[in-house]
Amino acid sequence: MPSARILVFGDSILKGVRYENGRYQVDHHWQQAFSEAFGVAVDNYSRFGNTIEKAMQGLRHICKSPAEGREIALLELGGNDCDYNWSEISANPDGRYHCRTVPERFAASYREAISLLRETGREPVSLTLPPILSDRYLDYLCSRGASKEKLLKWLGCADELSVWQKTYSCLVRQIAREENVRLIDLRSHFPTDKDALYSLIGPDGIHPSEAGQNLIYHVLCEDAHTVLG
């Protein structure tokens, strides 16, 4: 029998989504390999486009029952919460907009997830977010019909995309520290040099490439002591 069960509540990053040749594809390699390497069962509830509120729907359902044996929940969220409705911004760059989940609501829901997992005998583990490449993401948005001129008018500069996304990764780290939750700092394993990131982040600027996904898997393996205790 598996020594533990890993429950993954994440977005497309831990679902294994890559964007290549103009299309998305899913690679389940990391969870299969991790399960075999460490003798654990992996139930991946990650979803493309998952926000904290969407993830909480599944988490609440699972937590209706107490944990059976040892269950460890990986929380990899925030990347979609910090995103905006770019088509609306492109249509009216002079408007005022909020991201999908404002920081205060994200933090409150994230803390609720931690509490609910603990109350039902499950062990939360937080993951920070891999970085994004602002220039690639901006080009990707424009390839889907948004106006670069109008998006830049609202943003100020393209780098604001990565600065804002980093804010949510820092928020996850802060919550983990305050709630005494174990942390896997994925972001710290990615290079800070922008040029070095190009081989690790795909052409849409947000999803890891195959090399980036391999890096995430190796980080999870290196930090298995953090995951498994």
Of the chain, the percentage scoring pLDDT greater than 70 comes to 98
Return phi, psi of residue 160, to 5°.
-60, -25
In single-letter form, the type of residue at position 201 comes to I
**Mean local confidence (pLDDT), 90-96:** 96
Q: Which pLDDT does position 1 carry in this prediction?
A: 54
> 148-155 vs 134-143: helix axis angle to the nearest 10?
140
Q: Quote the CA–CA distance of 173 and 185 in Å, as a whole number.
A: 8
**Cα separation values, 184 from 4, 113, 181, Å:** 18, 17, 10
Q: Tell me what the pLDDT averaged over the chain comes to.
A: 94
Evaluate if residue 155 carries a pLDDT over 60. yes
For residues 114 and 98, give the distance between their C-alpha atoms in angstroms, rounded to a whole number: 25
Model's pTM, two decimal places?
0.94
Q: Residue 213 above 60 pLDDT?
A: yes
pLDDT recorded at residue 229: 66
How high is the pLDDT of residue 31?
Answer: 86
Overall average pLDDT of the 50-79 stretch:
96
Q: What is the pLDDT of residues 120-143, one digit of tens each?
A: 999 999 999 999 999 999 999 999
Q: Which of 43, 42, 39, 129 is nearest to 83 (CA)?
A: 129
Average pLDDT over residues 186-191: 96
Q: Using CA of residue 220, residue 222, residue 223, residue 228, what is the dihedral sign?
A: positive
Using pLDDT thresholds of 50, 70 and 90, give the confidence band for residue 14: very high
Pair 127, 189: CB distance under 8 Å: no
159-164 mean pLDDT: 97
The pLDDT tens digits for 43-57 are: 999 999 999 999 999
Predicted local distance difference test score (pLDDT) of residue 32: 87
Whole-angstrom Cα distance, residue 123 to residue 100? 27
Between the alpha carbon of residue 23 and those of residues 6, 18, 111, 129, 131, the distances in Å are 29, 8, 35, 22, 21
**Average confidence (pLDDT) over 34-50:** 93
Alpha helices in 96-229 (DSSP H): 103-119, 134-143, 148-155, 160-178, 194-197, 210-222, 224-228
- pLDDT above 70 for 2: no
